[in-house]
C-alpha cells in the first residue's frame, strides 16, 4: 500500500488509474516485440507516480495505453473504475516536445482541448487565463510559440494538458528536450503546480533526479520488455525546493536507484 505523503490525507484515496497484468506486444518486421510485460499498479488520487526506466523500456507505451491511443494486448487498464476503450475526456497529456500549433497563439493553443472536447468556451477562456497566470505566462497569451523559449513552450503545453481539469495528467518525459538549467526550474514549477492543483500525475521519465524530486512513488521498469523491477515511495518532505536537490536524503535516494539500474542486466 503506498504511504500517503500528502498533508491532510488520511484514508487511502480512490484509484484514478489501475493497470492489471497489462501487456503490449507490437508487431514488427522481425516478429512480435513485447513492449510491456505484466504491468500492475494503482495510481491513487493526488498521487505523483513516476515510471522510471531506460529508453525503449515501454514507458511511452504505458502512457499510450493510459491515454486510450493504444489498446493493450492483454490485461486491464482502467480509469476511474472504467475500462479504457479509447481517448477520454478526463485525461490530460504532455509530451516530450511541447507540440504546440505554430500558427496559433499561446492562448489558442491552451484552448485547443476546449474546442475538441466541446467545453464551454467562456469558462475555458477563464481557466486558460488562470493557468497561464500560474505558469507565469499571462503576458504572453497573444504570442506565437516560436516567440517563446523552450521552457515557456513546455509550460504552455502543461497548461493545455490541464485546461479541461482532467482527473489524470499524463506526462511523457516533458523536460527531456530542455537544457539542464531550465529543467531544474521546471521541476520546481511542476511540483508547485501539482501541490496547488492537487492533480494525479503519471510521469514517464528516464531521469533519476527528476523522478525522485517530483514523485510520491516511483516504479522502475527493466529494459524491453518493460517489467516492474522495483516500486518505492519517496518520503522527502513537501514542498520540495532547490534545497531538496542538495539534501543528503535526496542524494541517497538517487544513488540507490542508480545502483539498481547498473544491477539490471541489459
Contacting residues toward other proteins, per CB under 8 A: 64, 67-69, 87-89, 91, 93, 95-97, 99, 101-103, 112-113, 116-117, 144-147
Minimum separation from the CB atom of position 86 to other proteins (A): 8
With respect to other proteins, which residue has the nearer C-beta, 27 or 146?
146
Residues whose CB falls within 8 Å of the CB of residue 172, separated by 6 or more in sequence, listed in order: 59, 60, 63, 93, 94, 95, 96, 204
Minimum separation from the CB atom of position 20 to other proteins (A): 22
Minimum separation from the CB atom of position 122 to other proteins (A): 19
With respect to other proteins, which residue has the nearer C-beta, 53 or 113?
113
Minimum separation from the CB atom of position 254 to other proteins (A): 29
Minimum separation from the CB atom of position 102 to other proteins (A): 4
Give the three cell numbers for residue 53: 526506466
With respect to other proteins, which residue has the nearer C-beta, 102 or 248?
102
Residues whose CB falls within 8 Å of the CB of residue 93, separated by 6 or more in sequence, listed in order: 63, 67, 161, 169, 170, 171, 172
With respect to other proteins, which residue has the nearer C-beta, 13 or 177?
177
Minimum separation from the CB atom of position 61 to other proteins (A): 13
Query: Alpha-carbon distance 104 to 93, whole Å?
Result: 19
Amino acid at each position: 500500500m503506498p504511504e500517503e505523503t500528502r498533508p491532510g490525507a488520511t484514508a487511502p484515496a480512490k484509484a484514478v488509474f489501475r493497470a492489471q497484468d497489462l501487456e503490449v506486444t507490437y508487431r514488427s518486421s522481425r516478429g512480435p516485440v513485447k513492449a510491456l510485460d505484466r504491468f500492475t499498479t494503482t495510481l491513487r488520487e493526488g498521487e505523483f507516480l513516476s515510471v522510471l526506466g531506460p529508453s525503449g523500456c515501454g514507458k511511452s507505451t504505458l502512457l499510450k495505453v493510459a491515454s486510450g491511443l493504444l489498446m493493450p494486448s492483454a490485461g486491464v487498464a482502467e480509469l476511474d473504475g472504467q475500462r479504457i476503450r479509447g481517448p477520454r475526456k478526463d485525461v490530460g497529456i504532455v509530451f516530450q516536445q511541447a507540440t504546440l500549433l505554430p500558427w496559433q497563439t499561446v492562448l489558442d493553443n491552451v484552448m485547443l482541448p476546449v474546442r475538441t472536447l466541446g467545453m464551454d468556451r467562456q469558462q475555458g477562456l477563464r481557466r486558460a487565463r488562470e493557468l497561464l497566470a500560474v505558469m507565469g505566462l499571462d503576458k504572453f497569451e497573444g504570442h506565437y510559440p516560436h516567440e517563446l523559449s523552450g521552457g515557456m513552450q513546455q509550460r504552455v503545453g502543461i497548461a493545455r494538458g490541464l485546461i479541461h481539469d482532467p482527473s489524470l495528467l499524463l506526462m511523457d518525459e516533458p523536460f527531456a528536450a530542455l537544457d539542464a538549467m531550465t529543467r531544474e526550474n521546471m521541476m520546481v514549477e511542476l511540483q508547485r503546480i501539482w501541490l496547488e492543483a492537487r492533480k494525479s500525475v503519471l510521469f514517464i521519465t528516464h531521469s533519476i533526479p527528476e523522478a525522485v524530486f517530483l514523485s510520491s512513488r516511483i516504479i522502475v521498469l527493466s529494459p524491453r520488455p518493460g517489467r516492474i523491477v522495483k516500486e518505492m515511495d519517496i518520503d522527502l518532505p513537501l514542498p520540495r525546493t532547490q534545497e531538496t536537490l542538495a539534501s543528503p536524503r535526496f542524494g541517497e535516494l538517487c544513488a540507490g536507484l542508480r545502483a539498481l539500474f547498473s544491477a539490471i542486466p541489459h
